Structure formats: structure tokens, C-alpha cells
A and B are shown apart, each in its own frame.
Chain A
Amino acid sequence: GQNIDQPTEMTATEGAIVQINCTYQTSGFNGLFWYQQHAGEAPTFLSYNVLDGLEEKGRFSSFLSRSKGYSYLLLKELQMKDSASYLCAVMDSNYQLIWGAGTKLIIKP
């Protein structure tokens, strides 16, 4: 079967750095997405990786290793507004998104 694993919850301090990991096993691979979802709101797109390596976008970076079935989302200079759930999703060979259950990130002052 297809599976996406990510930690259920993480806690970090304002101003610090946090890394959220995602491992996957899917039927084919057409890219990996990270979405942010604040409580009670819609998921919003953060990043897309299809080739190995690091993609940087401001305070957020996303890394992919296809051979290891592994990705991480790196958040720097954490702000209180970064408290949210972070969803990892992989597009399989049928171009269907397979979703992880999300990682709830709690930022403390």
C-alpha cells in the first residue's frame, strides 16, 4: 500500500529552527508537496520538490531524497504565526496526491 509518515506533533521555540520530516512509500513519484494549515482554515501551498536537493523560499526550505523516500521541511526564525499543521503529500504515478496525517507544530515564546 501507499504510505506517508510524519510526526504527529512537534514543539519549538520562537526564533529557533525546526525540521519536520516526511517519509513515503508510493506507487510511483511525480513530486512532493508541503502545505500549511492553520486551525479551522484551508491548507495553503508551501513548496514542491520533484528533483533531489534543497529548495529555499524565504524562511522555509524543503529537501528531497527520492532514493531514500524522504523529505523535510525546515522552518527558520520561527514566529508565533508559524503555529499550524504541516501536511506532506506525494503525487503518485496516477497523479493522485497521497497525504500524510500532518504534523502539528506548536511554537512557544
Chain B
Amino acid sequence: ETGVTQTPRHLVMGMTNKKSLKCEQHLGHNAMYWYKQSAKKPLELMFVYSLEERVENNSVPSRFSPECPNSSHLFLHLHTLQPEDSALYLCASSQDVAGGYNEQFFGPGTRLTVL
């Protein structure tokens, strides 16, 4: 595997379900990110981790719970979601959190549908 991988690629869940999204980066990066992408809207940064420590939490509802067990893996645990949470969830990584030229590498995303 190379780059950033995400599983599952598609997920349909009911509002009472609990599910988890998984992201793995094979680039040796120190920073990992979760983004939400809704149609015709800017990417919304949800969480940022640097060396497994959360450094950013942009007022995300508690029904989204991130976990970063090591610098290569990032999870997003989902529970009691709402239909408006349906979106593409993108994981990204970069060498570090700070620094000017800090290109982010994205995974293919998980297309989430909440019924």
C-alpha cells in the first residue's frame, strides 16, 4: 500500500448505529487530519493530530470521536449521527502540522450516507 488509504469507501448507516472510519498513511508523516466534504461547500477541517496528540478540534459535535493510536493510523468513531452528517469524509496527512510548504496528501475518502 502506498500513500493514504481509507476504509470503508462507502458506508450507509442508520441514526442509531455505531461505526468507525479508518485511515492509514504509509508516508512516514507526523500529522493527520479528518475533513468533511459536502457538495458545493469548502472542505471543513474536523480534527488535526500531530504525533498522536490532538492539536485541533473545530467545534465538531461529540457524535464524532477521533482516535489516533499511532502516527500511521487515524480513526473516526461515529454514533447517533444525523442525516445532515451525510458527506464525503477525507483523511489527509502531512510531514508536520506547522511550516509553510506543508503539502497534504489525501486518501480517497469514505462516502457516508445516514438514513
Contact = CB atoms under 8 A, between A and B. Distances in A.
B100 interface: yes
B103 A33 contact: yes
B106 A44 contact: yes
B42 A42 contact: no
A8 B107 CA distance: 24
Interface string B33-63: 0000000111101001000000010000000
Contact of B103 (A4, A48, A50, A102): A48
Question: Chain B CB within 10 Å — which of A4, A43, A98, A102 has the most?
Answer: A43
A45 B90 CA distance: 15
B9 to A, nearest CB: 9
B49 to A, nearest CB: 14
Interface residues of A, number: 23
- SS of B interface (majority): loop
B43 A95 contact: no
Contact of A45 (B40, B105, B107): B105
Which one of B90, B97, B103 has the highest number of Cβ atoms from chain A below 10 Å of its Cβ? B103
Given A30-B100, A95-B97, A101 B42 contact: yes
Contacts of A8: 40
Interface string A81-109: 00000010101000111111110000000
A50 B101 contact: yes
Contacts of A48: 101, 103
Nearest to B3: A42
Contacts of B56: 96
Most buried by B among A87, A89, A100, A101: A101
B37 to A, nearest CB: 9
The 4 closest A-B pairs by CB, nearest first: A42-B106, A99-B43, A99-B42, A95-B98
13 contacts: A8-B40, A31-B101, A42-B107, A42-B109, A45-B105, A48-B103, A91-B100, A97-B43, A97-B45, A97-B104, A98-B42, A101-B40, A102-B40
Given A42-B109, A100-B42, A102-B42, 6 more contacts: A44-B106, A50-B100, A95-B99, A96-B48, A98-B42, A99-B43
